[in-house]
Amino acid sequence: MHAPNFALCDTEFAGYSPNSVEPEIVTEIMPGGRYHADFLRYLDIIAEYASAVTADSGELIPVIFRPFHENNGSWFWWGADHCTAYEYKELFRYTILYLQKEKGIHNFLYAYSPNGPFADEAEYLSRYPGDDFIDIIGFDMYHDRPSASDKWMDTLTATCRQVCAIARDRHKAAAVTEVMVAGTAMPDEEDLKTFNADRPFLFAIYDETDNTVLFLGAVGQL
């Protein structure tokens, strides 16, 4: 979810402003804040969509909802430089509780996805809102300046294993929620273990100890 900066957008939430980090608004969209009503209207639109996502049978379709991602970075208004860990957790929890209790949305699976890699589990969980609010333990990871000989894929694999372990301990699903290698230089083939010759940008990351797939993902090229 790339929510707009509610201090800057119009009443239709037009334009793209999640990267507009000034003014800081996390506390201002919570109850009592000057943009709280705007935030609720935005969540109401999301709830309306969630209620309309149905199969031909009329049954609601599960949807993965990933609000306020890459929260440990500084490039979004909900990032670590623009709100405290406490404020972030409160925002995340409030969002979910509003959708569930006020709007009756129960077909969302909620994903948590800071930006990798992580020094340790404590860093990964530093803004985690709690097991009661999360269904999917994930992470985003980009490689902006690849070279043929770098070890980024090794770091990605290690991060996958690290996040898998956290998810396993908490009985959650694990996911790579965003991943990309930019540019034209791709990692060496032995690092990728491609599984579809017609679409070589798809890759699998294996646990070589028992040959099980940890993650399936896609490496895009710009």
187 preceded by a cis bond (ω within 30 of 0):
no
pLDDT class of 212 with cuts at 50, 70, 90: low
**8 A C-beta contact, residue 181 and residue 219:** yes
The catalytic site residues sit at 70, 178
pLDDT class of 199 with cuts at 50, 70, 90: very low
| Helices H / strands E in the chain, number of each | 5, 6
pLDDT in tens, 75-99: 999 999 999 999 999 999 999 999 9
- Is the model's pTM score more than 0.85? no
114 preceded by a cis bond (ω within 30 of 0):
no
The domain limits of the chain are 1-111, 113-222
Cα 127 from Cα 93, distance rounded (Å): 11
Nearest partner of 136 among 118, 115, 111, judged by Cα = 111
Backbone angles phi, psi at 94, to 5 degrees: -60, -40
